[in-house]
Structure formats: structure tokens, C-alpha cells
Structure 1
């Protein structure tokens, strides 16, 4: 099958290569001319035989919007555009309506697999009309892992990215649990082999997983993770997951806490914790640490002698 691939970075480039190895003809375009097969989006569309299929793998937000807008001007009725980036699911319906006005189909696909996808295959979550999904199945079958799993037609337009968003939210929670367990093990005087403990969990335990395997790999490379600063960014999908939970009145305490933990990791001196420390000092006389790093005596705090209101006694 012939397909155009826009965005040939770590994910898009490997996906294009996996498709080529599977016997498909891929015409690739990227802002980097060194990896592009054509010089422009117009040239990419012209290189494909109608009805065309174009897969977009560019950053979510404005880059995706501008790419789809230009494709809408270049493509024809009967063509299909796939958005395989990490777009917000609410944008998918807008894009589908815009392209649909020209008779161009739109399918959103959440893609998971990272840098290992070329070798192991990609988990694919697709949203869109059944007619479009069925036409694209040769592409999906090549990209997904071998076996019955790894692909799902999740539902209507937007369902693919919604499923990927929830997947990433679950990932946040799982990683946070591993991280907290690691910190607690490190804090114990009795524990002498933290990497060995994680490695021992890879077989026979209920928490064995690919994430656990990756954790062991990281500890093998850096035994105490001393070469890594304790700051974790977020891609945005964690925020969208929490917002969707609010919109649907679904409680997500674990995922929400994991997202907020990432925010906290970026603060060398957390403003929120300053408030907590000050209040604990005021009502309980607990010691505080000054900005200079000096530990003050809690009993000397001005508010320690202030009596609590009757309802708090």
C-alpha cells in the first residue's frame, strides 16, 4: 500500500521504516531536508496516487493544525488523513469537520511504542468511521505487534486520542508508584541492594511489566540515579486526562497526584511547602528551615502561643 508520512522524527521515521520493511511504499516529508523524500507537502501529495493516504506525525497543537490546514487545500475527495500525534481529542472533531467539507476522511490514531516500536511494533488506538478504518487495516497490521492484540478501533473520531490520553494517564500513575517505592527503599538503613530488589520483581510478581524492565535498565546504567536531576516534565496528556475526569465527574486520585508530583519536581523551593511549613509552625510549633538553610526552634515561633479557636480544641 502507498502512504505519505509527514514528520520523520524518532517516532515517524521508525514507523516509516517499519512500513517499508512490511512491503509498503512510503513517501516521507520532514522539515529536515536530509531525511525527506520530497521538498514540500505539495510535492508529497503529488507523489501519491489517488485516493491518497497521508499520516501526520508532528507535534500536537499549532504544528498539527497548520499541517492539516495545508493538507485540506491540497488533497481531494476520497483521500484520508491520519493524525497519529498526541493531539487533544477535542481538536479531532474540528479537524474531521474541516477536512470532511472537502470529502477528505479523517482518522485519529493514538500511538504507543516509543523508540522500541520499530523492533516490537506499535500499539494503535484508532478513532473514525468504520469505512476508513477498514481501508487502512493493511497499514495498521504492519505497524502493530504480531499477534491478536496491539490494535483497536476505539470508536468515533476522537476516540483514538482519548484512549491514548487515558493510557498515558495510567502510565503517570504507574511510574509514580515505582518512583515512590524506589525512594522508600533508598531511605531504609536495612536495605542494601535496591537495584537487585527491582530486578527480583521482574519474575513471578504481580507488578512485573515493561516499565519495571525499563526501571531495571535505568538502574543498571546508573546504580543510584545520581546522574539524573529529579525533575520530570509532562507532555500535556496528563493534564488533559485530569481535565477530562473533571468534565465527566470521574475521580482520578492516583493520576492527578502523579501529575501534581511532576509539577512539584520542578520547584527547587516549593512555594506551597513554604505555606505548609509556616502553618505547621504557627499552630503546632514545629521547627522551620530558613531560606539560609538554618533550622529554627519551633517553640520560639510567634504563633505557637496563640490559642486555637474553640472548634479546633
Structure 2
């Protein structure tokens, strides 16, 4: 199968390479000329515009998007809407909000085009291990894309599937990422407690290695955590600043809207926000309150 890939960042480029290894033909577009050259070096074709990309693909066309969520995806989707023909398919493999995917799919359906939302997990390891894909869309449209998903997945019938209609793929990936926030926070807090028990002189990398086999808390995320501890046991040089890309916020919003209690995911999001507040006004005010009612000492900042 021949398909177009829009967005040749690290994950997009890796997905293109896995598709090429699986015997598919790929034509890629990215505004960055170096990214296009790197793709060509792997044996794929490239296009210097969306128009050129669409012209290079056979009917019915399949275009996979791996671009940041929000305006960039909207702009790309809108541009393709005027270039594609009835029967063509766009797959959004990025982390779009599921409501945006539903809105975009309606625009495409009105013109006889298929829109498939594919929540994609696997990160930088996907090239080697395969990608976990949660897919939303018309059943027949998804089935027609089976060869692509089978190639990208960890196994032909493993790690991927159509979970429901358009929007359900990105909704499922959103909740997946919310769960990921909670798991990461639990591991981070647990290892922090171990690290602070100085009297035992615990080797965190060793403990991670022990937990990786036979333990109830073993997981791929623990494998990666242990690997990170082996490379940098004290986390030297890493700023305590944790970014969030939106899915955790959306998960919490949905939990509130659906009246579903999700304290762990919510608190893990709050901890990420807290990590960015290097000049916490609230903490300063708390210290001032304690001083006001109890005369407790206030620690002053160095001048």
C-alpha cells in the first residue's frame, strides 16, 4: 500500500521507516527540508508541499497526519479538504482532542471523505517495538487500512484495534495518557521516598531491577524508569519541571463532566503544574499565615 505521511518529526519519521520495512510505499511531507532528506535516505519519496504529496498518491489516497494537536492539525486538515477526492482517507495519528476529531470528521463526511482518528502510543520505542493504536472511524474505512495498522502494531493482531466510531480513538488515547500520568507520579513518589531514606543507602537502580521481575508493580514504564536511574542515579542536571501536553487536562475535564471521581489522575496533573512554579506565591502565603496565627518561623530567601 502507498500512503502519504504529513509530519516527519521523530515519531512520524519512525512510523514511516517501520512502514517502509513492512513493504509499504511512503511519500512524506514536512516543511523542514532536512526531515524530507532524511526520509529519502531511508528509501521513501518526499514532497515539498501538500499539493505535491496528494498528486503523488494513487486513488483512493491515504494520508497519515503526525503533527501537533490544535491549530497546526486544523490548518493541515482544512488544506487537505480542498485537495482530496471522495473516497480518500485522512488518519490523524496525533494527540488531538476527540471533540476536534469529531468536528473534522463531519466536514470530511460531507465531502465523501473518510476521517479516522488513531490514538497512537509507543513514543520513540515504536520503531523497534511497534505502536499501540486505538482507532476510531467507520468500520469499513478502518478495515481497508488494516495492512497499515498490522505493519505498525507490535503484532498482526496485537496492540491495535477499532474501538468505536470517529472520536473514540482519541478519547481512548486521552484516558490512556491520563492513566499514564498517575502511573508516572506513583513511581516518582515511591522512588523519592526510597531516595530520602539516607540511613539505608539504597541503590534505586538495583531496586528497580529487582521489581522488574516477578513484582506486582513490574511494567514497561518501570523498565524505562530503571534504565533512567542506571544512567543518572541522582537525576543530576535535570530541572524539576514537568511538561504536560494536554491529554491529562482533557481527561480530568471529562471525569468532571461525567461525574467520575478520578483523584489520582487529577492530583498527578496538579503535581505537573506545581513543578513549574519556581516562585510559589501560595507557599509563601502559607508560610506567612503560619507566622500570623502561630508565630512560626519564616525562612527567608537568600539575597
Please report the TM-score for the alignment, with normalisation by the length of structure 1.
0.90
- Give me the whole-angstrom Cα distance separating, in 2, the residues matched to 1:236 and 1:280: 35
1:252 to 262, 267, 277: 262
Aligned to 2:152: 143
Matches within 5 A, 1:209-220: 209-220=219-230
Bigger Cα displacement from structure 2, 247-256 vs 148-157: 148-157
Aligned to 1:201: 211
Aligned to 2:101: 92
1:147 Cα deviation from its structure 2 partner: 5.6
- Paired residues, number: 293
1:222 to 224, 232, 235: 232
Task: Please tell me whether residue 277 in structure 1 is matched to residue 287 in structure 2.
Answer: yes
- Give me the whole-angstrom Cα distance separating, in 1, the residues matched to 2:299 and 2:279: 11
The structure-2 alpha-carbon separation of the partners of 1:149 and 1:286, relative to structure 1 and needing over 3 Å to count, comes to farther
Displaced runs of 4 or more, over 6 A: none
1:268 Cα deviation from its structure 2 partner: 1.6
- Give me the whole-angstrom Cα distance separating, in 2, the residues matched to 1:216 and 1:291: 35
Task: Name the SS for the 1:71 alignment partner.
Answer: helix
2:252 to 228, 231, 242: 242
Deviations 1:53-111 (A, max 9, x none): 11011110000000000000000100011111110111011101111121111000000
- Give me the whole-angstrom Cα distance separating, in 2, the residues matched to 1:147 and 1:5: 21
Task: Name the SS for the 2:200 alignment partner.
Answer: coil
The structure-2 alpha-carbon separation of the partners of 1:70 and 1:197, relative to structure 1 and needing over 3 Å to count, comes to same
Deviations 1:133-171 (A, max 9, x none): 111111000000026420021111111111111111111
Structure 2 segments unaligned to the other structure (5+ residues): 37-45
Bigger Cα displacement from structure 2, 274-283 vs 27-36: 274-283
- Give me the whole-angstrom Cα distance separating, in 2, the residues matched to 1:46 and 1:238: 38
2:60 to 43, 48, 51: 51
1:131 Cα deviation from its structure 2 partner: 1.0
- Give me the whole-angstrom Cα distance separating, in 1, the residues matched to 2:127 and 2:204: 32
Task: Please tell me whether residue 107 in structure 1 is matched to residue 116 in structure 2.
Answer: yes
Matches within 5 A, 1:1-313: 1-36=1-36, 37-146=46-155, 148-192=157-201, 193-292=203-302
Please report the TM-score for the alignment, with normalisation by the length of structure 2.
0.93
Bigger Cα displacement from structure 2, 32-41 vs 225-234: 32-41
- Give me the whole-angstrom Cα distance separating, in 2, the residues matched to 1:43 and 1:189: 61
1:287 Cα deviation from its structure 2 partner: 2.8
Greater RCO (CA < 8 Å, at least 6 residues apart)? 2
Larger radius of gyration: 1
- Give me the whole-angstrom Cα distance separating, in 1, the residues matched to 2:81 and 2:156: 35
Deviations 1:252-280 (A, max 9, x none): 10011011101111112312222322333
Aligned to 1:305: none
- Give me the whole-angstrom Cα distance separating, in 1, the residues matched to 2:14 and 2:208: 30
Q: What RMSD over aligned residues (CA atoms) do the two structures have, in Å?
A: 1.3
Structure 1 segments unaligned to the other structure (5+ residues): 294-313
